[in-house]
Amino acid sequence: MKLIVDDADLESIRQIYEYFPCAGVTTNPSILLKAKRPPYEALKAIRELIGPDAELHAQVVGAKAEDMVKEGHRICEVLGGNTFIKVPVTREGLKAIKILGKEGYSVTATAVYTQMQAYLAGQAGAAYAAPYINRIDNLGANGVSVAKDIHDIFRRNNMKAEVLAASFKNTQQVLELAKYGVGAATISAGVIEGFLKLDAVASAVDRFTCDFYELCGEGKTML
């Protein structure tokens, strides 16, 4: 399962990239708003930071399929290769996914709440379908189960599409999907940082350090 950062703040992305094994960055209009920079200015800065080989996901906002397609072309023109066009799975969005897929663009189907949305997006040519794990939970369903169902639908129907799970509230949700082997998960910087925030680990490391200092002297290392 690929680990992708769901953020547009350059410093947050830089910190996560420095310490964690990440495959790219996802954004959406709400995330770009928090960055308080013009969309393409923010996105180009992210591309420069993560490099040309990392995935960068950017979302269209047009209401009609034709507008979404034009936006998708522009997004890829500005941001280059390994750019994924995020398109919501609405009626118009599905039409746009079909067009962009046939043209050879990489599409991430977003705003996915149901297995059927993901199935249709996969059949239309999307590279990823992004179910909103926590938002699905808030509607009374089980987001992790929905993501697993989508993964199974893609595999059993011989689709190339992968799950790009999104909207996490805790590390356990991420772990469940990693164990299941879904394609990718896009996660906020805060939740990613929580992966290693374990008091037991810190305590064990402190104990090892104290024992080493007792053996070799304060401040000594293996150098």
Q: How many residues are listed for the chain in this entry? A: 223
Catalytic member of 70, 86, 160, 220:
86
Give catalytic status of residue 86 as yes or no: yes
CA distance 108 to 84: 6
Q: How far is CA 159 from CA 151, 163, 176, in A?
A: 10, 11, 22
Q: Which helix (H) or strand (E) holds 220?
A: none
Q: Give the rounded distance of the alpha carbon of 62 from its chain centre.
A: 22
111, 86 Cβ separation under 8 angstroms: no
Give Cβ neighbours of residue 27 (< 8 Å, ≥ 6 apart). 6, 7, 8, 42, 43, 46, 56, 57, 58, 59
Q: Which helix (H) or strand (E) holds 162?
A: strand 162-165
Would you please indicate which residues are annotated as catalytic (active-site) residues?
86
